Amino acid sequence: MSEQEYEFQAEIRKLLNILSKSLYQHKEIFLRELISNAVDASKKLDFILLTNRDIRDADEELRIEIYFNEEEKTLTIRDYGVGMTKNQLINDLGTIAGSGTEKFLKKLEEADQKESKKLDLDIIGQFGIGFYSVFMVAESVKVRTRHYSKDEDAYEWTSEGTGKFNITETDKEKRGTDIILYLNEEDTEYLNDYRIKEIINKYSKFVPYPIYIFELEEGEIPERGKIKEEEPEEAEKEEKVEEKEEKGPKPINKTTPLWKKSKSEITEEEYKDFYHYISNRYDDYHHVINYKVDGRVRFRSILFIPSSPTQDMLQQDADYGLSLYSKSVLIMKYAKELIPQWMRFVKGVLESEDIPLNISRETIQANREIMKMSNLIVKKFLRELSDLAEKDNEKYMEFWENFGQFIKEGIVTDVARKEKLKKLLRFKTSKAEDDELIGLEDYVKRMKEDQEEIYYLVGEDLNTMESSPHLGYYKEKELEVILFDETIDNFLMMNMNHYEIKGKKEEGEEEGSKFLRFSAIDVAEPEKEKEEEGEEEKKEEKEELPEEIQKFLEYIESILDEKIIKATVSKRLYGNPCRLANPAEGPSSSAQRAMRYWTQVQAGKEFNIPKKIFEINPEHPTMKKLIKFHKEKEDEETVKSIIIQLFENSLLAEGDLPNPSSMVPRINQIIEDLLTKRE
């Protein structure tokens, strides 16, 4: 048969023109695509052999061979799969553009310059056009193929990636396909054993057929005999098994992925090696979860919790997700749809035969199977953490120290799983000993019999909170208070209104739920049934205070003026002269700090702190003196300065004083006045 020339279909010509101009940073994916095609061809042959062995080379071993020749600048990928007929060569590699080609071109047109840098990884393989990626690195391509049918001839397809391709008969004897790339001068990096292995380990490490790499000398032709040693005589076979295994070629990939082995077969060393591979880290993992599901959805997965977080995990826009495989081929390195964002510290892999090889970022988001898998994965992960907390508290506390903030983030962002995540919280309390951290379940067990609320305080740091004026009353009454001191805790407590506990409603009845409300202890002391009282009753209640205290409160309000809502007396101040408290109907301290964070950090604007109630303890020695001085109109300037100073001390304790150094001149003046009076 003489050589015949054909023209590419218009869309394919456009596609080849784009690819040949090397728009992409990650050209290496051409090899991933060719190996995936070789795997598909081999799997099809495997399926045919189940019912028909009357084919060409029926006993030929299925494998993938890669040959590179530095002198001639050629890279050859060979498989022993189904091969192609002449019509398949014409249609599949040239004249008929599939819908995937059109979609790919449309995607390119829609993408902006920033997105286009990622397009090679995101969509080339997802539109069924992976073969054409060879023209990112090759100036010309030759495809030599022979179909598995015994009556089919062998053909050779050649093209320079321009507007035409040629087909002619060839002398290829073995079934399968050879794809020979004549590489561009600037792409000869792929004629290197190390570089080829690097790409295979990245994308195709777990394909189900062995991959071999061989270097050719100038003029040398890839031959099957070069790879496989001659079979020994029957009598010698048994004696030479071990020798043959040692001398024979070794595949560079693992044909049995770790996740396809049973748990009992996997060694600790294998888990470590796989963790290093999948996470690109070289420390030890903290915990591993091997999870297999065979039901309406089917998948196998291995999840790792690292030993510590990395900087990129703390960034919400960082790449994350499980490596998604289908039929042992990497489909997506970061499948974010499989785990929620708060689980971005988890490294791992999921493989499912139910996922199509050409799934895209767009279709994966609406894929019901993916959604079901995600729900099962997260459910298993939470159950595993719960079991770890119950059975190995020391190990769980190591996890909490490193990844507790992600659990808190989950409570804020993952409404569906909020209640389960609450049970995983750990925190310091006002009664905790040394570095003791407890959970909500422990807190509830330690509650007083008549206690109906969970008390908490959010602050800047533990040391400040432990000496907080808000704690005095609760320490006196021996009520335990949860202490939160991380920035995220402000957002956390905006999203935690109650904690559900299971218990019997009454003796003999079915189990029911009880909800304990979270109560911030920095809220102003409630006035007795304020809403139900009329103005007269409120006035009478205020008049119950001694006149000198009433007048002193009015004096405080005149000095602090617009800085506070009002000044009042509190019975909850033990050992402290005063405090700033939030009104019960106003935003909590957590909400205020969260708003301040978004206003200052995110928007770069000034945040005006909402006014609070200034509560005083008239029984405290400092306040007694100030009330006395005010009544006797003694040292009025000093009294005024001290009131302002006490107010700013309270602001400082709350972390709400924007410029603490502004207090220094006043403090110096107060000291000077006091020393002058002693002379």
End-to-end CA distance of the chain: 121
pLDDT of residue 559: 94
Tokens standing for residue 62: 């299925």
3-state secondary structure of 623: helix
Quick check: 112 pLDDT over 50?
Answer: no
Please give the residue that has the higher pLDDT: either 85 or 607. 85
Judge whether 516 and 501 are in contact, CB under 8 Å: yes
DSSP assignment of 263-299: GGG--HHHHHHHHHHHHS--S-EEEEEEEEEESSSEE
Q: Any residues with CB less than 8 A from the CB of 487 and at least 6 apart, and which?
A: 593, 597
> Which of 9-13, 127-131, 208-212, 666-670 tops mean pLDDT?
208-212
CA–CA separation, 369 and 367 (whole Å): 6
User: Percent helix, strand, coil in the chain (nearest 5)?
Assistant: 45, 20, 35
- The pairing of strands 453-458 and 511-520 is parallel
Q: Which two tokens stand for residue 433?
A: 């000993």
In order of their start, the domains of the chain are: 4-232+241-247 (3.30.565.10), 258-408 (3.30.230.80), 427-520 (3.40.50.11260), 547-580+612-678 (1.20.120.790)
Backbone angles phi, psi at 341, to 5 degrees: -60, -35
Question: Is 32's pLDDT higher than 70?
Answer: yes
Contact 178, 78 (CB under 8 A): yes
For residue 544 the two structure tokens come to: 């119950």
pLDDT at 217 over 60: yes
- Pick the range with the lowest mean pLDDT from 275-289, 412-426, 630-644, 649-663: 649-663
**Between 29 and 503, the higher pLDDT residue:** 29
Q: What confidence tier does 363 reach under pLDDT thresholds 50, 70, 90?
A: confident
Maximum distance among all alpha carbons in the chain? 121
- Percent of the chain predicted with pLDDT > 90: 53
Contacts by 656-665, CB closer than 8 A, 24 or more apart:
656/580, 656/609
Give 618 or 246, the one with higher predicted confidence. 618
Mean pLDDT is highest, among 230-234, 241-245, 449-453, for: 449-453
pLDDT confidence band for 229 (50 / 70 / 90): very low
Other CB atoms closer than 10 Å to residue 42's CB: what's the count? Answer: 21
Would you say 137 and 30 are in contact if contact means Cβ atoms under 8 Å apart? yes
**pTM of the shown model:** 0.71
Q: Give the SS3 label for residue 294.
A: strand
Decide: residue 172, CB within 10 A, 0-12 exposed, 13-18 middle, 19+ buried.
middle
- CA–CA gap between residue 360 and residue 662 (Å, rounded): 58
Of 431-435, 543-547, 654-658, give the lowest mean pLDDT range.
Answer: 654-658
Q: 444 falls in which pLDDT band (50, 70, 90)?
A: very high
CA atoms within 13 A on the CB side of 659: 4
Q: Residue 300 pLDDT > 80, yes or no?
A: yes
- Give mean pLDDT, residues 168-180: 96
The band of 102, judged by pLDDT with boundaries at 50, 70 and 90, is low
For 519-536, the pLDDT digits (tens) are 999 998 766 544 444 555
Task: List Cα–Cα distances, 10 to 4, 61, 102, 634, in angstroms.
Answer: 19, 39, 10, 97
As a whole number, the mean pLDDT across the chain is: 84
Q: Name the 3-class secondary structure at 104.
A: helix
pLDDT tops 70 at residue 123: no
Q: What is the mean pLDDT of residues 312-317?
A: 75
| Count of beta carbons in the 10 Å neighbourhood of residue 602 | 8
Residue 388 has pLDDT above 80, yes or no: yes
Summarize pLDDT for 248-261 with one digit per residue, the tens: 578 988 878 899 99
| CA atoms of 362 and 454, how far apart (whole Å) | 44
What token pair was written down for 528?
Answer: 């007795």
216-to-40, 373, 446 alpha-carbon distances in Å: 26, 45, 75
Buried b (16+ CB within 10 A) or exposed e, 267-282: eeeebbebbebbbebe
**Residue count (the chain):** 679
Q: What is the pLDDT of residue 239?
A: 45
Residues 354 and 295: beta-carbon distance below 8 Å: no
Cβ-based neighbours of 48, under 8 Å, separated by 6 or more = 55, 82, 148
Position 111 scores a pLDDT of 57
**What contacts 60, CB < 8 A, 6 or more positions away?**
80, 174, 175, 176
Note the Cα 383 to chain centre separation in Å: 18
Place of tokens 């702190």: 609
Number of helices (H) and strands (E) in the chain: give both, helices first.
Answer: 23, 21
Query: How far is 221 from 67, CA to CA, in rounded Å?
Result: 9
Indicate the burial class of 433 (C-beta count within 10 angstroms; 0-12, 13-18, 19 or more). Answer: exposed
Least confident interval from 226-235, 456-465, 588-597: 226-235
Model confidence at 121, pLDDT cuts 50, 70, 90, reads: very low
